[in-house]
Copies of this chain bind each other. A is one copy, B any other.
Amino acid sequence: MSENDVKPNKELLLDPFGTTIVKDYERLYKEFGIQPFKPLLQRIKNPFMAMRRGVIFGHRDFEKIIDCMENGKEFAVLSGIKPTGEFHLGTLMTAKEIIYFQKQGAQTFYCVADIEAYEDNKIPFEKSEKYAVGNIADVLALGLDPKNAYIYRQSKENRVKDLAIIFGRAATLATMKAIYGERHIGLYLSALIQVGDILLPQLPDFGGPKPTVVPVGVDQDPHLRFSRDIAQRFRRKYGFELPSATYHKIIKGLDGSPKMSKRSPMSYFTLDEKLEVIANKISNAFTGGRPTVKEQREQGGVPEICPVYEIDMFHFVEDDDEVKKTYYDCRTGKLLCGEHKKRTIEHVLNFVREHRKKREKYIDKAREILGIG
């Protein structure tokens, strides 16, 4: 069932949290061995918003992490950001996940993937350095505790580069082409460096082997599979635990496209844009609404295909009941798109205003952490 086949019906009240899109992800379960996250939910004492709502829909080996959280065992969380621009809703999700796991007691690693930004996006290091300062200020403003986190740039972390060199011998051309396609050697090298990032928490400098969760968007799974393969091959030498992962869904583009993309400025916004621009982009967003008010009142809207609903659910409405109400009100034709957008814009702008105030205070701290004078 694809999104376009959804036959909305006032009587049929689907689970507002993620049931609709799960079918699109079934291939991932079957072909790639990603496990569904939902069955684990009841074992997690204090699940993160995106877990409760099915935004985090899949995992690999996450049972190990639950065991650590339940029994106070040592574990780590690692994820990062490619410093190619300002924070947007994708990087926001990963940052929140990291912060969640930090609060659950994880040894925390946040990586600025500036080598990947160079190899994949041609961003020179001088330029990515500027983005990195802002990105780190963002993640600090969101609540990452820098005292209990290792925040670093790939280009400055020799241990990661040295792991990439060591792992290189196990990376066949066939594997690289299968995962990443026909790319230049720099891109393959940056993939190896990302494996180095993912296994960094398990080096003796950080206390040795331990379960590590890598929360990512599902589009990052190839990196995870590659990392697990490499961890297996170098298990005897380093004692690596295979890294675990959680997978969140990719938020839809505001223009109705499957994902937000820099190539379509109307599909996304950054936390850095002017408030009126953000408001305008949401205001112009594609929705699951009907051609006429009359039809919408009669048939209800289609929140399953609506990016405005996703913005609420992924990020800006804290209360689950409020999200559910929005879902049902849309489905039953009570809530029209104009009103919904107005409310969402308010939520988003409130968040952005507050966030910016905090962020401003963290710029110097971010420079200090990154060692930028």
Residues of chain A whose beta carbon lies under 8 Å from any beta carbon of chain B:
115, 118-119, 122, 155, 158, 161-162, 164-173, 176, 182-190, 192-193
Contact = CB atoms under 8 A, between A and B. Distances in A.
A172 B189 contact: no
Given A118-B166, A185-B192, 12 more contacts: A118-B169, A122-B169, A161-B162, A161-B165, A164-B189, A165-B189, A168-B185, A169-B186, A173-B173, A173-B183, A173-B185, A185-B188
Contacts of A155: 162, 165
B168 A119 contact: yes
Contacts of A165: 115, 118-119, 155, 161, 186, 189, 193
Closest 8 CB pairs of A and B: A168-B186, A169-B186, A171-B185, A168-B189, A168-B185, A185-B188, A172-B184, A161-B161
A167 B115 CA distance: 12
A184 B186 CA distance: 14
Nearest to A182: B173
Interface class of chain A by DSSP: helix
A267 to B, nearest CB: 27
A358 B168 CA distance: 38
Contacts of A193: 165
Nearest to A183: B173
A169 B115 CA distance: 10
A187 B185 CA distance: 11
A161 B167 CA distance: 15
A317 B168 CA distance: 44
